Chains A and B, each alone.
Chain A
Amino acid sequence: MSQAWWRQALAICAKDMRIEFRERTSVTSVLLFAVTSLVVVGFALAGLALTSDVAVPLLWIVLFFAAFSGLAHVFVEEEEGGTASALLMAASAEGVYVGKLLYNLALLGVVGLVAVPLFLLITGLPVPRAGQFVGVVVFGSVALASAATIVGAIVAKARARGALFGALGFPVVLPLLMMAVVATRRAVGADADDWSWMRDVGGLVGYAAMMVAASVLVFPAIWETN
């Protein structure tokens, strides 16, 4: 990766963060969804003991919908605002992809910082393997952000955008969500063994690395499509 890539990626990420800081459109809607979902579930289950079998999928459902409702729109906004062609002229495709990925990671990081503690508070789920839990959530979020970024790029170039989000997102994200749910269940105590953290976190890191590598390869072709 050349220096020019990184400079462009950082400039695009900084630009998106600056816009988000001023307009707060994505972070507000994503946080609103995450917090509302968790609070509503918390009220509905008041007084009931929530097992990890039910609670853990709830966490990933919230993170998944938060990611796809906010993160996947970064390219759609560039296309609809007419700024995509200016970026195309000034920056390399790799720089644009990495910049958008960094921004999405930051946004999902903010969501995770709010949603995960709230989830633990509402469900009262014990986390005996805190390090493993944090690792699974962090790398699961990285994998989710990488999937949302490339799906968002494909969808932004399509006409039937709404329909494509579901059609493309489902098969790409389903294996990741299944891995993340199993890994998180182990981290909160179920089915754990001494090496489970390595398998679980390694699987998520592998998914994220594979998704980023594949995205870097295919993104130029997607980005150049007009």
Chain B
Amino acid sequence: MQHRRSWYGRDGCSASRYYVKQCALFTGAKNPGIMSAAMIALHASTPPGTCEPVCIALSNVSKRYGRRRVLTDVSATIEQGTVLGVSGPNGSGKSTLLRILAGILVPDSGEARVTVSGRTLDRHERRAVIGWVAPEVGLYPSLTGAEHVELYAALRGIVLTSEEIREALAVFGLGRRLRDPVRSYSSGMRQRLRYVCATIHRPRILLLDEPFGNLDLAAIEAVRRLVEMHRDAGVTVVAGNDDRELDMADALIHLGSTASQ
């Protein structure tokens, strides 16, 4: 299956070099038996309207923190069906770029646009179609895993039964710990819970910052399957430096060092 992709970057700036990499698509779908029923229900079934094309366009996006320049004129177009990798040294602006895409940060100049069926979404509309997983996303220590899922589903206007909550958590191996408070979770389990909370509304765009951080092999495999199954439904942006993370991408932006900027 071919996916159209168009992209570009500006040399000499933060997006100093880039390349496109072909990778095998739907590796998870070759082995549908390894997917749990819940995972198929949550992520593989196409929600209404997902045939509408989704596209992200970055146009000369720049961002500073005080006097420190983090991103300079980053441009890219990411079309539906693409998994974009964002690599670069620490402090090069990978997380900042994802936060701009998520609509949490506003670029100092340039523009980050998300369009669905040709209509550009504003920052608030954009958040409804985005699932964002990042190490800095906090959890409530005294709430259980199930209560987290229930909360984020309710905020997204989704009412889940306790069985659906259990199934959602089981996708990432938390089915047996759903009644335990998050303070008793390991860092890997917390990262798994972030995935469940971020994807409960079936987002069209997945923004994954260091997606394999603290995860064991089983959870990494679950994330790979999530990305592969999500590929057709929308756009995924993966930021990190781990080769295993960037292997999922079929296009890559490398953000240059910001030390001298």
Residues in A lying within 8 Å of B, measured CB to CB: 4, 7-8, 11-12, 15, 18-19, 22-23, 81-92, 95, 224, 226
CB <8 Å contact, B140 and A19: yes
- On whether A85 and B157 interact (CB within 8 A), knowing A15-B151, A22-B142, A90-B127, the answer reads no
Distance between A103 CB and nearest chain B CB, rounded to angstroms:
14
CB <8 Å contact, B136 and A11: no
Question: For the complex, what is the distance from the CA of A171 to the CA of B152, rounded to whole Å?
Answer: 36
CB <8 Å contact, A86 and B138: yes
Distance between A216 CB and nearest chain B CB, rounded to angstroms:
15
Give which listed residue, B130, B143, B156, contacts A19 with CB less than 8 A: B143
CB <8 Å contact, A83 and B105: no
Q: Which residues of B contact A95 (CB under 8 A)?
A: 155
CB <8 Å contact, A7 and B127: no
Give which listed residue, B132, B142, B197, contacts A23 with CB less than 8 A: B142
Q: Which residues of B contact A87 (CB under 8 A)?
A: 155
CB <8 Å contact, B137 and A18: no
**Could you list 16 examples of A-B contacts with CB < 8 Å?**
A7-B157, A11-B154, A18-B142, A18-B143, A19-B142, A81-B138, A81-B140, A82-B138, A84-B138, A85-B137, A86-B138, A86-B197, A88-B127, A89-B127, A89-B132, A95-B155
Residues in B lying within 8 Å of A, measured CB to CB: 99, 102, 104-106, 123-124, 127, 130, 132, 136-140, 142-143, 147, 151-152, 154-157, 181, 197
CB <8 Å contact, B102 and A4: no
| Residue of A4, A85, A226 with most partner-chain B CB within 10 A | A85
Q: Which residues of A contact B181 (CB under 8 A)?
A: 22
Residue on A nearest B151 in the bound complex, by CB: A15
Question: For the complex, what is the distance from the CA of A136 to the CA of B102, rounded to whole Å?
Answer: 45
CB <8 Å contact, B104 and A226: yes
Distance between A77 CB and nearest chain B CB, rounded to angstroms:
9
Residue on A nearest B127 in the bound complex, by CB: A89
Question: For the complex, what is the distance from the CA of A170 to the CA of B132, rounded to whole Å?
Answer: 39
- On whether A89 and B130 interact (CB within 8 A), knowing A4-B157, A11-B155, A95-B155, the answer reads yes
Question: For the complex, what is the distance from the CA of A104 to the CA of B151, rounded to whole Å?
Answer: 19
Distance between A12 CB and nearest chain B CB, rounded to angstroms:
8
Give which listed residue, B102, B106, B136, contacts A82 with CB less than 8 A: B136
Q: Which residues of B contact A15 (CB under 8 A)?
A: 140, 143, 147, 151
Residue on A nearest B194 in the bound complex, by CB: A86
CB <8 Å contact, A92 and B137: no
Residue on B nearest A4 in the bound complex, by CB: B157
Distance between B148 CB and nearest chain A CB, rounded to angstroms:
9
Q: Which residues of B contact A89 (CB under 8 A)?
A: 102, 104, 127, 130, 132
CB <8 Å contact, A85 and B147: no
Question: For the complex, what is the distance from the CA of A76 to the CA of B130, rounded to whole Å?
Answer: 25
Residue on B nearest A87 in the bound complex, by CB: B155
- On whether A90 and B155 interact (CB within 8 A), knowing A15-B143, A82-B136, A85-B136, the answer reads yes
Question: For the complex, what is the distance from the CA of A19 to the CA of B138, rounded to whole Å?
Answer: 15
Residue on B nearest A10 in the bound complex, by CB: B154
Distance between A129 CB and nearest chain B CB, rounded to angstroms:
43
Q: Which residues of A contact B132 (CB under 8 A)?
A: 89
Residue on B nearest A8 in the bound complex, by CB: B155
